[in-house]
Amino acid sequence: MTAEDEDQVRELAPLGGRLVALVVQTDLQRPAVLSAFPGLRALAIRVGHPFSGDPARLGALERLDLEVPPGARTTLVGAMRDLGVSPAHLRELKVQGEIEGDFIRWLRDFDQLELLHLDWLALFEPVDLRPLGDLCQLQDLSLRGGEGLFGATWALTARLPGLRALSIVSVTGEPVNIGDLPQGLAALRLEGKLSQEDLEAISRLSALTTLALAGKGAGGVIPDLEPLRRLRISRLDLIGDYQLGKPIASVRHLRWIAMSRTRALDLSSWTDLTHLDLTLTDAWALKLPAARNLRHLRLQDVGQRPAPVTARALSEALSAEAAEITLITDGLDQLPGSWPSSLATLRLSGSRVDDRLWPTLAGATNLRRLFLGGAAVTRRGFNAFLKAGGDRLAVVQLHDSGVAPRRTLTWRGKGIEPIE
């Protein structure tokens, strides 16, 4: 359930112990109103000032998503005390706010935590994370902060052999310098300066199945992902410039936001991919995997001179069972003659999108969502498409199109009527 303010929380009071999850969108004055829900297991709340009156009694709470905004007149410790959170039951804690050492030390008593996400640790001074080493049940840890974050994390992870998911984001872009990592890690996200030695260390995590890397290469060197071929990762998420080389055979999902030093992308040998999400910023050449295996494709090219993509190459990349396609590029030479019959969602934006689109959709009998941006389609062509069966769509959106320049038109629900 969602409550906008304290009055709406009070209106939910008749639910009593039946309410198990609640999102409160604005600050509460008196936390005791939450005590009307003794069965509450999950709570998301924003706290901007100290509560007045008696604290809440949320001893059964298992999941807490807590935000204390900058400049708030309370602390994270104070907010959790006012909520009456019990260390004996809390399993998941997500915190967004100015996290200081006293809060880290206070958390050591919450030894039943299995998931801990801390956003905005100290930016310009090293943080001591060692007290978190007492959280022996921890399986999922996410940290976001600044100077000294990686070094402090490696000192901690050596004491948490049960970790299965780890995310570390350095907003100051520090070198990663990987230290001790639990061998049971299945998911890893790192955002910072990566060296080739870091990639070698990652390649020794035999249980890893999901990997996300973001940032520049240490010393200005573009990292070579060759060591990752030793792993059995199925999902790879990249932000930055990387040398791909030979395919990582186990990868099925590849998402890559390529930066300006990535000028040519050759994915022709990555034939096992089923999901591909590419954002190009300055690439002049692109080769898609020609295996008719992609079920989900998203290609966005924001470069001044977009990489050319032929309709033939696009068709040879798409599976006959493709369900979702997004093409935001002026690099397409022309539209494909047809789309997969299984296609459910199509998003197109580019100078090649005009009234020649409508006949190509005739075979896409499962299409339910169509989004067009900057397309040169006309009102006449759109109406003809609707009359020919296009009214089966559940959502249609035309943004800055020939139908309505500089406007966004959206239809939802069946029975879309032609535009008069």
The string of pLDDT tens digits covering residues 211-263 is 999 998 888 889 999 999 999 999 999 999 999 888 999 999 999 999 999 99
Cα–Cα distance, 270 to 250 (Å, whole number): 10
Q: Which is nearest to 216 in space by CA: 236, 198, 237, 242? A: 242
Bigger pLDDT: 19 vs 127: 19
Q: Kindly report, residue by residue over 159-197, the tens digit of the pLDDT.
A: 999 999 999 999 999 999 999 899 999 999 999 999 999
DSSP string, 166-204: EEEEETT--B-------TT--EEEEESBB-HHHHHHHTT
β-strand 408-412 against 395-399: which pairing, if any?
Answer: antiparallel
- What's the rounded mean pLDDT across residues 277-299? 97
pLDDT tens for 113-145 read: 999 999 988 888 878 999 999 999 999 999 999
User: Please, which residues bridge with residue 266 across strands?
Assistant: 287
The pLDDT tens digits of the residues spanning 144-159 come to: 999 899 999 999 998 9
What is the pLDDT, as a whole number, of residue 420?
59
Tokens of 276: 């591909």
> Residue 133, Cβ neighbours under 10 Å: how many?
15
Q: Residue 319 has which token pair?
A: 């599976």
- For 272-309, give the DSSP string: T-SEEEEEESS-SEEE---SS-BSEEEEEE-SSSPPPB
The answer to whether residue 417 scores a pLDDT higher than 80 is no
Per-residue confidence (pLDDT) for residue 201, from 0 to 100: 96
* pLDDT at residue 419, as a whole number: 67
Give the model's confidence band at 73: pLDDT under 50 very low, under 70 low, under 90 confident, else very high: confident
* Per-residue pLDDT reduced to its tens digit, 33-69: 898 998 999 999 998 887 777 888 888 999 999 999 8
Overall pTM surpassing 0.85 (yes/no): yes
Distance, CA of 155 to CA of 139 (rounded, Å): 16
| Sign of torsion over alpha carbons 195, 198, 200, 202 | negative
CA angle 417, 418, 420 (to 5 degrees): 120
Q: Which helix (H) or strand (E) holds 358?
A: helix 357-360
Q: What's the token pair of residue 390?
A: 């296009």
Q: Tokens 């199509």 sit at which residue?
A: 346
Alpha-carbon distances of 139 from 135, 142, 214, rounded to whole Å: 9, 10, 22
Helix (H/G/I), strand (E/B), else coil: 375: coil
* Contacts with 139 (C-beta within 8 Å, 6 or more apart), sequence order: 114, 115, 162, 163, 164, 165
CA distance 332 to 299: 11
Q: Is 110 helix (H, G, I), strand (E, B) or coil?
A: coil
* 172, 197 Cβ separation under 8 angstroms: no
